[in-house]
Structure 1
C-alpha cells in the first residue's frame, strides 16, 4: 500500500499539474475577491494514537539479525486507540478550536466536564463515529463548526455574509457531499480541493503543523508515563493534547503557508522542489490539464447546477486514496 502511495505521489509531483493548480488557486481568489489572508483557511484530519510516545521501546527476539528484524516488537505506553482530530489554520497565523471524533456511539459526560474545567479546551467540539473517522454526516457538522468560528470575519451587524471565505481541503468523499457543498455555497465559503496525493507539498497543515504536533504529543505522553501513569485514556488525552497543540501551533509553524507557495503567492517555492521540474521547464502552462482542473467554477444557481458542480469536483480528482490513514 505504501509503495502504491509513493508512486502516486511521485506522479502528482508533475510540475505541469502543480503549476496549473496554482493558476487555478489564484483565479479563484481573484474571482471572489479573497484578498486578505484572514479569509483563507486549510483544514485536515489527523489520526492521533492515544498512547503514542516519542520514545517507543523496541523489544527484539531471535538469535540472528534476520530473525531480530522480523520479530521486533514496538511497545507503546498506553492505548493504541485512535482519535481523529480535524484542525483548521488560517493564512494569517490564526487557528480554530479542533473538532475531535471519538470511536463509539455515545458522548460521554466526562468529556464536557473536563472541558468546562479546563480553559485550554474552550471551543473544542466532540463527535463520535463507528470507526473514529469522518463520515458524510460529520463532514457537514465540521463545515458548520468552521462557519461558527469564522463568521465574525464576514458578517455585518444584521448577520448577513458580506465577503467570501476560502477553505482548502483534500478530496475526501465526505467533503464532496451535496449537503456539504450546499452549506458552503449558502454561506459564501469557497471550497478548493488540492490535487490528489499532493498534500505533502501543498497543504500547510501537512507541511508545517502535523509533524510538530505529533512530536510534542509524544513528548507529553512520555512525561506523563514517567510519573507512574500506566497509560493514556480519553480523559488524559484531553489534558495532554492541548499542551502539545499549544507548542506545535505557533505563528512559526503556521507560516508553513509560505513554504507551500500559497501565501505569499509563489509557485516557485514548490516547483523548484519537484524532481521533474528541470525536464518539464519548457512545457507550456496552457497544457490540456488546465482545461480540466483549472477552470474557475461558476456559482450554482439551481439544484441541478449544484449537482453538476459536485460531479465536476468528483471527476476532477483521481481515484481517492485516504492519505489521512497512512
Structure 2
C-alpha cells in the first residue's frame, strides 16, 4: 500500500523525499497498531531523532527500498503547475473532438496536416561537465558570453515527414542579408526590436508557409499550432481563410504533450545545435558567437533533428497522425488530479474528494476498529478498506479557481478559421482596440489639463 501511494504521488508530481517517507511510515504504523493490524511499533522509532518528530528508522527505509527494487531516488524535473493542471482528460478529449470533426469534414492526407511552432536559438552555450584534477576549487570553461541573444526560429512540419525552410526573427531594427549567409536554402528572415513573434511577423511567416507548404490553391490545408496572441491576428486568419488554410489551436499549456514539434523535433534539434555551436567556438578561439552565425550553425542540426523519422514520430506520439485519441494512458493524466475540473470556462461544481477516498470502503470503517490480543496474529484482511494511507496524508487538491480580473480571456482548443470563431475574435479585438483608444484619449486629456 505504501509503495502504491509513493508511485501515485510521484506520478502526480508531488513525490515524497526520504524524510517524508519515514515520517509517513511512522504515522501509518501507529494507525495500524491502533486497529490491531500490527502488534507494535519499534521503540527505536519513538527515540529516533528525539529533538524532532518521531519517524521510521533509516534501517527500515533501507530495507523498504531494497524490498521494492522498482523504487529509486530520482531527481525530479521542475514542472509548472499550469502545465500539470492543464493536461487533463476533459481538455485533451475536447481537442481530439474538434480535430476528429475537422478530419471528417475534409479528407486530409498526411501531407496536408502541418504543425507550426517557434523556438529560441541562443548565442550562449555553456559546457556542463569537464574532467579536471581532484581538489580543484574552481574549474572554468569558455562560453560565448554571459548573457546571450535569442533568435526566434519558426518551423513547420507535416505528418508526412516534410518541413519547410526555417523562418528567422532577429532582434534588430533592420534585417541584413548576411544573417542568412550559408544557412538553409530558401530560409527567410525578418527583424523586429524584440526578436519574438508578433502579429506582423506571423503574417509574413504565413506567406512563407503558403509558398512552400501548399501544393494547390484548391486543396485544404490544416495548420495546428498553439494559441499565442500573435497567432490570433485577424489579418493572419483572413489570409488563412483566403488560402484554404484551416487553423486549429492546441489547448493552453499542453504543447509539451500534444505538439509534434515539441515531442519529436525540438529536443534533438537543440542538442545538435548546441554541439554545432561548441564546435564553432573551438575552431574560432577568441571570437564571440553572434546572431549572424545562427542560420549557418543551425543548418546541419535541422537535417538531423528535423529528420523525417523524428517528425513522423512526433505526430505519432501525440495521436494526431495516425489518429489515436487513446494514445495517452490514465497515468499520463495523473498530474492533473490536483486540479481536475470539467472543460468549461467556469467550473459548476466544487472539486470532490480524492479518488483514493472515493474508492475506499464504508464511511464507518473507522468507527468500530478491529482489536486483537497481543498473542494473536495481526488481522490483515481488508486492510486497504480499514486504513487508506490517503487518510493519513491526503493527496493535494486545489480549490476552485477564482475568476481572473486581468481581463485576459481564457483560451481553449478551437478552430480559429471557423466563421463563428472568426467573428468572435473580430469583436474581441475591436473591443480591445477601442478600450486602448479610450485610455490613450483620457491620458491625453489629463496631460492637456
What TM-score do you get using the length of structure 2 for normalisation? 0.56
**Alignment-derived partner of residue 247 in structure 1:** 304
Structure 1 residue 270 displacement after superposition:
2.5
**Alignment-derived partner of residue 149 in structure 1:** 212
Counterpart CA distance in 1 for 2:101 and 2:427 is 20
Residue pair 2:120, 2:153 contacting (<8 A) in 1 also: yes
Residue pair 1:181, 1:310 contacting (<8 A) in 2 also: no
Counterpart CA distance in 2 for 1:197 and 1:162 is 34
Residue pair 1:178, 1:307 contacting (<8 A) in 2 also: no
Q: Equivalent residues in 2 for 1:217-256 (5 A)? A: 217-229=273-285, 230-255=287-312, 256=314
Counterpart CA distance in 2 for 1:295 and 1:44 is 17
Residue pair 1:34, 1:166 contacting (<8 A) in 2 also: no
**Alignment-derived partner of residue 253 in structure 2:** 197
Q: Tell me which of 109, 126, 144 is aligned to 2:189.
A: 126
Structure 1 residue 75 displacement after superposition:
6.0
Structure 1 residue 272 displacement after superposition:
4.2
Structure 1 residue 100 displacement after superposition:
0.1
Q: Tell me which of 314, 317, 320 is aligned to 1:259.
A: 317
Residue pair 2:121, 2:294 contacting (<8 A) in 1 also: no
Q: Work out which structure has the larger RCO, using CA pairs closer than 8 Å and 6 or more positions apart in sequence.
A: 1
Q: What is the alpha-carbon root mean square deviation over aligned residues?
A: 3.4
**Which moved further from structure 2: 225-234 or 131-140?**
225-234
Residue pair 1:47, 1:83 contacting (<8 A) in 2 also: yes
Deviations 1:174-214 (A, max 9, x none): 11111011111111100000000000000001111111111
Change in 2 beyond 3 A, CA 1:148/1:162: same
Counterpart CA distance in 2 for 1:297 and 1:223 is 43
Q: Secondary structure at the match of 1:268?
A: coil
**Alignment-derived partner of residue 12 in structure 1:** 86
Counterpart CA distance in 1 for 2:336 and 2:201 is 43
Alignment size in residue pairs: 279
**Alignment-derived partner of residue 65 in structure 1:** none
**Alignment-derived partner of residue 104 in structure 2:** 30
Matched, 1:90 2:158: yes
Residue pair 1:89, 1:205 contacting (<8 A) in 2 also: yes
Matched, 1:104 2:162: no
- The structure carrying a bigger strand percent of its residues is 1
What TM-score do you get using the length of structure 1 for normalisation? 0.75
Counterpart CA distance in 2 for 1:297 and 1:141 is 18
Matched, 1:215 2:271: yes
Q: Tell me which of 418, 424, 429 is aligned to 1:308.
A: 424
